[in-house]
């Protein structure tokens, strides 16, 4: 009987395991995770919902894994991979042989260079354990310093204010969300945070991050010193490629895979945050995406290709972020855009469309309260997937339905 092993019990790995069963695989499935908890959703960890104490939002119950015949091993690290003998060695000494292997090892938070390790007042966010520790520190009268003005940093800033903490955001670049978010939207979000009392500082470099007397001490290059009860480091993530690298797999900003999520080793696949892959709709440009939906979709796609169905990557990248009552959604990749058009959707809601030199729609960025932009972003996503060259005037005209452009 064939044995499929999945390393990484996050969104991607769990979805792949269940998808194998849904697609008719009758062999053995072993899902291995290094956290003690069974697979859970990570997006709520940084958003307002994380303010509520309790268990994480689990992807499925333990009974569901048993019912589907998925052997779930938690609290174990995969130490070695031998692609020649098709075997994986775990941290408890267990050896697992496989017929097909999926690496869904995810990514880890980048830590600030030179900062003390295992500090109670200098932390990052990646796991439920991290979130619980941060939540305990976000209380009225506490000062939280957030290093990095990306999605994680800004979402946590909003959550900290919701819990009554004082917040300072320190961003080294000239504005927040510099990578992938248009300046017009970043400006609105910055002002929204400032309205809530967040001290947002951009273009500020940090010389040192230390712990003194139970406080995080941030020394800026200007000489100013900021003290905080808790410092959150949110400066991005690095793909977990160590086991793949040691096994000799090709690495290129993550584990390098083809459009079918196959690695450079036979019968070894990779998916989710840990891998980089070529995107056909962007001319084969190699990308690595850290997003909830990408992890879901690639888990299902990897399962199909482990079964020999040869389904290529075809989805449009999609991201979202919730901060206060505002939701930001982005479809596609705007790099290379030369024309940017705005469509107003109502009070405090609009979409920016991004077109390349040929007039092809390559991305759309929307912001508004609640679900105000969700429908039009979804239609924009479909236009991007179709390689559409819509009339720019029609895109900007709020009285022209996007659905009609899709039909055309």
Q: Is pLDDT of 49 > 80?
A: no
Q: Tell me the CATH number at 330.
A: 3.30.390.30
Both 118 and 264 in a single domain?
Answer: no
The confidence score (pLDDT) of residue 132 equals: 87
Both 19 and 84 in a single domain?
Answer: yes
pLDDT-derived band at 54 (thresholds 50, 70, 90) equals: low
Both 227 and 243 in a single domain?
Answer: no
**pLDDT tens-place string over residues 155-204:** 999 999 999 999 999 999 999 999 889 999 999 999 999 999 999 999 99
Q: What are phi and psi of 73, to 5 degrees?
A: -115, 115
Q: Is pLDDT of 406 > 90?
A: no
Calculate helix-pair angle for 292-306, 11-22, nearest 10 degrees: 40
The confidence score (pLDDT) of residue 53 equals: 54
Q: What are phi and psi of 278, to 5 degrees?
A: -80, 135
Both 117 and 102 in a single domain?
Answer: no
Both 164 and 216 in a single domain?
Answer: yes
Closest CA to 380 of 356, 397, 357, 405: 405
The confidence score (pLDDT) of residue 50 equals: 61
Both 23 and 83 in a single domain?
Answer: yes
Both 332 and 377 in a single domain?
Answer: yes
Is residue 29 domain-resident?
yes
Three-state DSSP at 232 gives strand
Q: Is pLDDT of 51 > 80?
A: no
Both 136 and 225 in a single domain?
Answer: yes
Is residue 57 domain-resident?
yes
CB 239 within 8 A of CB 255: yes
Distance between CA atoms of residues 373 and 357, nearest Å: 26
Distance between CA atoms of residues 308 and 38, nearest Å: 28
Both 296 and 189 in a single domain?
Answer: no
Burial 93-131 (b: 16+ CB within 10 A, else e): eeebebebbbbbbbbbbebbeebeeeeebbbbbbbbebb
The confidence score (pLDDT) of residue 210 equals: 97
Both 89 and 166 in a single domain?
Answer: no
73's enclosing H/E stretch is strand 70-73
Both 210 and 273 in a single domain?
Answer: no
Q: Is pLDDT of 8 > 90?
A: yes
Is residue 311 domain-resident?
no
Query: Which residue range(s) make up the domain with 341?
Result: 325-407
> What number of CA atoms fall less than 13 Å from residue 172's CA on the CB side?
13
Both 192 and 339 in a single domain?
Answer: no
Average pLDDT over residues 34-61: 84
Q: Tell me the CATH number at 122.
A: 3.50.50.60
The confidence score (pLDDT) of residue 145 equals: 98
Average pLDDT over residues 5-22: 98
Q: Of the candidates 211, 233, 255, which is a domain's last residue?
A: 233
Is residue 75 domain-resident?
yes
**pLDDT tens-place string over residues 104-154:** 999 999 999 999 988 999 999 999 989 988 888 899 999 999 999 999 999
- What is this structure's pTM? 0.95
Q: What are phi and psi of 212, to 5 degrees?
A: -140, 125
**pLDDT tens-place string over residues 238-295:** 999 999 999 999 999 999 999 999 999 999 999 999 999 999 999 999 999 999 999 9
| Tally of domains within the chain | 3
The confidence score (pLDDT) of residue 52 equals: 57
CB 383 within 8 A of CB 373: no
Is residue 24 domain-resident?
yes
- State the Cα angle at 250 between 243 and 316, rounded to 5°: 100
Is residue 320 domain-resident?
no
The confidence score (pLDDT) of residue 117 equals: 87
Q: Of the candidates 272, 306, 340, which is a domain's last residue?
A: 306
Q: Is pLDDT of 347 > 80?
A: yes
Distance between CA atoms of residues 244 and 248, nearest Å: 6
Least confident interval from 35-49, 210-224, 281-295, 383-397: 35-49
Mean pLDDT for the chain? 95
Q: Of the candidates 176, 204, 233, which is a domain's last residue?
A: 233
């Amino acid at each position: 009987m064939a044995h499929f092993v999945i390393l990484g019990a996050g969104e991607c790995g769990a979805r792949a395991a269940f998808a194998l069963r849904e697609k008719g695989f009758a062999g053995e499935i072993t899902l291995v995770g290094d956290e003690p908890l069974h697979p859970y959703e990570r997006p709520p960890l940084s958003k307002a919902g994380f303010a509520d104490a309790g268990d994480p939002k689990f992807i499925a119950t333990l009974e569901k894994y048993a019912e589907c015949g998925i052997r779930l091993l938690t609290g174990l690290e995969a130490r070695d991979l031998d692609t020649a003998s098709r075997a994986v060695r775990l941290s408890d000494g267990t050896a697992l042989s496989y017929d097909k292997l999926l690496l869904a090892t995810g990514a880890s938070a980048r830590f600030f260079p030179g900062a003390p390790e295992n500090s109670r007042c200098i932390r990052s966010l990646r796991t439920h354990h991290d979130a619980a520790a941060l939540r305990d520190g976000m209380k009225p009268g506490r000062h939280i310093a957030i290093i990095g003005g990306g999605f994680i940093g800004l979402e946590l800033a909003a959550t900290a204010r919701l819990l009554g903490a004082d917040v300072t955001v320190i961003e080294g670049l000239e504005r927040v969300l510099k990578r992938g978010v248009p300046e017009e939207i970043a400006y609105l979000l910055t002002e929204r945070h400032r309205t809530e009392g967040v001290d947002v500082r951009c273009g500020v470099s940090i010389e040192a991050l230390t712990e003194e007397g139970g406080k995080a001490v941030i020394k800026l290059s200007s000489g100013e010193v900021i003290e905080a009860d808790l410092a959150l480091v949110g400066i991005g993530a690095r793909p977990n490629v160590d086991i793949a690298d040691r096994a000799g797999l090709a690495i290129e900003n993550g584990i390098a895979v083809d459009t079918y999520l196959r690695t450079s080793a036979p019968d070894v696949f990779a998916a989710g945050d840990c891998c980089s892959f070529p995107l056909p709709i962007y001319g084969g440009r190699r990308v690595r995406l850290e997003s909830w939906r990408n992890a879901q979709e690639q888990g299902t796609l990897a399962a199909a290709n482990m079964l020999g169905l040869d389904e290529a990557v075809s989805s449009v990248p999609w991201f979202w972020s919730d901060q206060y009552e505002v939701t930001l959604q982005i479809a596609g990749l705007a790099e290379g855009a030369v024309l940017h058009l705005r469509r107003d959707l109502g009070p405090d809601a609009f979409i920016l469309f991004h077109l390349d030199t040929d007039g092809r729609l390559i991305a759309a960025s929307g912001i508004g309260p609640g679900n105000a932009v969700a429908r039009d972003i979804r239609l924009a996503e479909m236009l991007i997937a179709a390689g559409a060259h819509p009339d720019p005037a029609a895109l900007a005209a709020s009285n022209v339905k996007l659905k009609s452009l899709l039909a055309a």
